[in-house]
Amino acid sequence: MAIKIVLPSPGASTPARTRWGPVGQTAVMDRQTIPAGWLTLRPFTPADIPWVYEVLLDPVLRRFMQLPSPYRLEDAASHVEQEYIAGGDDGRRANFLAEDAATATRLGRVGLRLGEPGAAEIGYWVDPRARNRGVATTAVRAVCQWAVTTAGIELIEWRCEAGNIASRRVAEKAGFLIEATLRKRRVRHGERVDEWVGSLLRDEAMARRSLIR
């Protein structure tokens, strides 16, 4: 899937301070938890590694992701530790695990990758057992709201392999404008494939926030 909330209401816990800086400068994103309706978006921990490993064995996800083959538990551990955890510590990424707020059941992942100043790319996936419940749409909307209101992001980009209808539907429901099909722009499993690209601007995200309140 592509890899380029609602904010707490008055009285809710205050999010930790966020410091995202321009590329090439020291930039640290404090790890924080974001309430998003029936979901909670929290930082990843090493305890999540077995779950990530199990989820990413799903053939539907593997079709659109660049993963080692065979995919081993140590691969999942390296990815979680280096990208989902350390990436947030050094400001390169902000990754959240989406879990059921009532039961703490792990449901999916949504993340941002910092690009040029004021821009980021979003990516997401959902546990196959939690599909068709609105997990990705709810989490993506929440992270986009957080990004533009708290992290100073003005442009959020979405990209995925052409043909990944599920990812595209989520992006469209979250308010992204699908802009183009880029020919042979993505490499997957050693072959060049077409890529869809879309974007969400800060003003658009803010307008959507007002509509869903």
Task: Give the integer Cα–Cα distance in Å for 120 and 155.
Answer: 7
pLDDT in the model for residue 156: 98
pLDDT in the model for residue 90: 75
Is the distance from CB of 135 to CB of 92 less than 8 angstroms?
no
Contacts of 199 (CB under 8 A, 6+ apart): 155, 156, 157, 158, 176, 177, 179
pLDDT in the model for residue 91: 77
What ranges do the domains of the chain cover? 26-212
Q: Has domain 26-212 been given CATH number 2.40.40.20? A: no
pLDDT in the model for residue 151: 87
| DSSP 8-class letter at 3 | B
Per-position pLDDT tens, the chain of length 213: 443 333 333 334 333 434 444 433 234 355 689 999 999 999 999 999 999 999 999 999 999 998 999 999 999 999 999 999 988 777 789 999 999 999 999 999 999 998 888 999 999 999 999 999 999 999 999 999 999 998 889 999 999 999 999 999 999 999 999 999 999 999 988 899 999 999 999 999 998 765 555
Name the pTM for this structure.
Answer: 0.84
Could you read off the pLDDT of 10-20 as tens digits, one per residue?
A: 334 333 434 44
Give 17-30 as a DSSP string: PEE---TTS--EE-
SS3 category, 46: helix
Q: Cβ of 157: how many Cβ atoms within 10 Å?
A: 19
pLDDT in the model for residue 88: 76
